[in-house]
Chains A and B, each alone.
Chain A
Amino acid sequence: MTIRLMQGNEACVEGALRAGMKFYAGYPITPSTEIAEISAIELPKVGGKFIQMEDEISSMGAVIGASLTGLKSMTATSGPGFSLKQENLGYGIISEVPCVVVNVQRGGPSTGLPTSPAQGDIMQAKWGTHGDHATIALYPNSVREIYDMTIRAFNLSEKYRTPVILLLDEIIGHMRERIEIPEDDEIEIIDRKKPTCSPDEYKAYEVKEGDIVPEMADFGTGYRYHVTGLVHDETGFPAGATKAEALIRRLIDKIEDNKDDICTYEEYMLDDADIAIVAFGCTSRSAKSAIKSLRGEGYKVGMFRPITIWPSPEKQLEKLSKRVKRIIVVEMNDGQYFLEVDRIAGKNTLVEKYGRLNGEIIPPHEIISVVKEAYNG
C-alpha cells in the first residue's frame, strides 16, 4: 500500500493519470493552476501532451479535438474560466465527446474572490451552457475522494460519451491530506467503446441495440466521419429541426435513465434522524463534525451528501423527505442546491437553506446553532 501526503489539486492530476489522461489543455487561473502545472510536469513523462492555450475557450476546444483522436483529455479552471468553457462544453455535449472539466470553485460573480472558497457554481455546472441538456457533475469532499472521483469522471465520460464536470472546493484543492493510493484491483478503468464494424457500415451517431451511446471511432483510423455542433442525425450530418427532438431527448435520457449507475451519495447517521442536513464538498465536513457534537447532546440529526451532484440523486432525496421532519441545505452560496432539494423534497417535508457568500468556510458551530434553532425555535 502506498501512502502519500497530497494536495487536492495534485490528487486530481494523479487520479487523471491513473485513469489514462494523455492530453491536457488549460489556462492559468487561481485556484486551479496547480492542476495545469502538475500536468505539464507529468504528461510528457508518460508520452502524453500538455498545452497552455491562449484562453479558456480554446482550452476546451483543444480538449475536444484531442479526445476525437482517442486521447483521454482534461482541462481545469475556476469561476470566470468556467464561464468561458461553457460554449464548447455545449459542443462536447451535443457532439458526445468524452472529456473531463475540473472547476476549482472560487467566489463570484466575475473576478469575485479569486483566492477564497465558494460553492457558487452549482447551477452553472448544470445550466451554464445554453439549451436543454443533461449534465454529469461530481463533487468530492476529501483529497482521496478527489483522486477517486477524477478517475470516475473519466470513466463516466467514456461510458456516457459526454463531458463530465468535477466540482472542487478551493479549500480541498489546496489542502494536504494523507491518502492511500488504491491498488490496481481496487479501481476500475473504463474506455470508450470503439466500432468493430467496417468504415463503410459505420454510422457515427447510431446507438446499437443494447448500447447506451454510439460507438466512437478515433480520427485517423479509417472511419472518415463528420462531427458538428449542429443538430444531426445518426450519420452525424446536419439534419434540421425534424431530428432535434430525438437527438436532444436521447442526450438527456442517456444520463437521466442511468441515474442508478451514475449517482453516488453518502448517508450519515440518517437512520433515526429527525433533521437531515444536505451538504457537499468542504461544507459536508463541517456538517459531519457538527452532527457528531449534536448527537452527543441527543439531537437526532444526520447528513445526506450527494457525491454525484448532477444528475441529483432524486430517488434517495425523495425517500429521505418522507422520513425526516426537516431538511436543511447547507452550502457556501445563496441557496443553489437548495432549489433542487426543495423541488424534490419540498412537497413532503420542510426544506430550508443556510448559506454564506463571504468566502469563508461554514464552521461546525454555525451548523450546530442552525440545527438547535430548528429543534427549539
Chain B
Amino acid sequence: MASTLVKEYFREDKLPHIWCPGCGNGIVTRAIVKAIDSLGLDKDNVCIVSGIGCSSRAPGYLDFNTLHTTHGRALAFATGVKMAKPELEVIVITGDGDSSAIGGNHLIHACRRNIDITTIVFNNNIYGMTGGQYSPTTPTGDKGTTAPYGNLDANFDLCELTKGAGASYIARGTAYAAKQLEKFIAEGIKNKGFSFIEAITACPTYYGRKNKKGSAVDMLQTVKESAVMDKAWDRLSEEQRQGKFKIGSFHVEAKPEYTEEYKKLIASFNKGEE
C-alpha cells in the first residue's frame, strides 16, 4: 500500500527502494515529486535523467520518462533530450561525485549554456554506492575509505561553482527542511534556464560511520542545526559560521535560454516560407 502521492508518481511495484535505513535520498526524492505535483506537471512530459551512484537510482522508482545513464553523464544525455524535445520538462538527479567529479565538466557547461534543465544534487559528501570513498564535497579532514588519515583535498562549494559557471537559478536546501527543499525545486523547475539545487542529505552507513557522526537521526539533527538561512548567515561572524553552512535560494537571473535561442535560429530560416 502507498500514499496517494506515491501511487500517483512512483512505480509502486519497484518499492521498497535499495537505499540504506535512514538514507536521506528518499526524503529528497519525495521532495522532487512533491514539487512536480505542486506545479501540476503532466507525467508524460517529464523526463528524469540520472547518472550512476546511490541517488541516480531514484528515476527507476519514478513514473515518468526515466533515463538512468552512465557515471557523470546525466547532463550530457539530458542536454540531448532537452535540445531534441524542448517541450519536455527535464530534471536531472545526481550525486556529489557524479555531478562534480566525473561529471564536473558537463555540469559547468550546462550552466554556461543556461539550458532549461533542473538539476538536483543529492549531496551526502561521500561515494556511497562504492562503499564510502571521499568525494569532491567531503569536508577537508573528514575520512573516507580512500582518505583513511583524513581528506587532504579542499571541498567544492557547488552553489558557488555553478554560479560562476552561469546557472540562472541556484539554491541549497536540506533533507531536514524538506518542505523548503520542495519549494526550491519547484522554483528551479519554473525557472526558464539552468537551475541548480543542492540538497544536503546524509549517508549514515558510510560517511556517518566513518566519521562517527552517529545514527541517521543524529545526522539529520546535525543537518538541521548546521543549516543557516542566507539572511541570518550574513550576520554571523566567521567564528559563528564554523561547522555551519548556508541554505536558501541564492541566485535568480533572467538570461537567454539555450533551446529558446536555437528555436529562434531555426525560425530565422523559415521566415521566407511564411
Contacts and interface: CB of A to CB of B under 8 A. Distances in A.
In the complex, A touching B (Cβ < 8 A): yes
Interface of A: 22-23, 25, 44-45, 47, 49, 51, 53-55, 57-71, 73, 87-88, 91, 218-222, 224-230, 237-238
Q: Which of B49, B78, B80, B106 has the most CB of A within 10 A?
A: B80
Contacts of A66: 80-81, 83-84
Nearest to B265: A44
10 A-B pairs closest in CB distance: A65-B80, A61-B76, A62-B80, A58-B76, A66-B84, A65-B77, A66-B80, A228-B68, A69-B85, A54-B109
Nearest to A22: B84
Nearest to B270: A47
A65 B70 contact: no
A65 B84 contact: yes
Contacts of B266: 44, 47
A273 B67 CA distance: 53
Contacts of B80: 23, 25, 51, 61-68, 73
Interface string B32-56: 0000000000011101010000000
Contacts of B78: 65
B188 interface: no
Given A88-B70, A226-B68, A44 B262 contact: yes
B14 A91 contact: no
Given A54-B106, A61-B77, A62-B80, A219 B70 contact: no
14 contacts: A25-B79, A47-B266, A59-B76, A60-B76, A61-B73, A64-B69, A65-B49, A65-B84, A66-B84, A68-B67, A226-B59, A226-B60, A226-B68, A227-B67
Interface residues of B, number: 40
Given A23-B83, A62-B77, A220-B44, A49 B70 contact: no
A239 to B, nearest CB: 11
Given A54-B106, A227-B66, A221 B84 contact: no
A91 B71 CA distance: 11
Nearest to B50: A228
A68 B81 contact: yes
B85 to A, nearest CB: 4
B105 interface: yes
Given A47-B266, A49-B84, A224 B44 contact: yes
A53 B76 contact: yes
A51 B83 contact: yes
Contacts of B75: 58
B68 A222 contact: no
Contacts of B79: 25, 51, 53, 58, 61-62, 65
Q: Which of B69, B76, B105, B265 has the most CB of A within 10 A?
A: B76
A49 B83 contact: yes
A335 B268 CA distance: 51
B54 to A, nearest CB: 14
Contact of B84 (A23, A225, A237): A23
A235 B184 CA distance: 33
Contact of B47 (A63, A88, A220, A229): A220
B88 interface: yes
Q: Which of A49, A55, A60, A70 has the most CB of B within 10 A?
A: A49
Contact of B70 (A23, A91, A218, A237): A91
Contact of A219 (B14, B68, B85, B106): B85
Q: Which of B43, B45, B60, B84 has the most CB of A within 10 A?
A: B84
Nearest to B47: A219
Contacts of B268: 44
Nearest to A90: B70
Contact of B81 (A54, A65, A237): A65
Contacts of A224: 43-44, 63-66
B160 interface: no
A302 B200 CA distance: 68
A225 B82 CA distance: 17
Given A44-B269, A62-B83, A65-B82, 17 more contacts: A23-B80, A57-B73, A58-B106, A61-B69, A65-B49, A66-B83, A69-B88, A88-B73, A219-B81, A220-B65, A222-B44, A224-B44, A224-B63, A224-B66, A226-B59, A227-B67, A229-B70
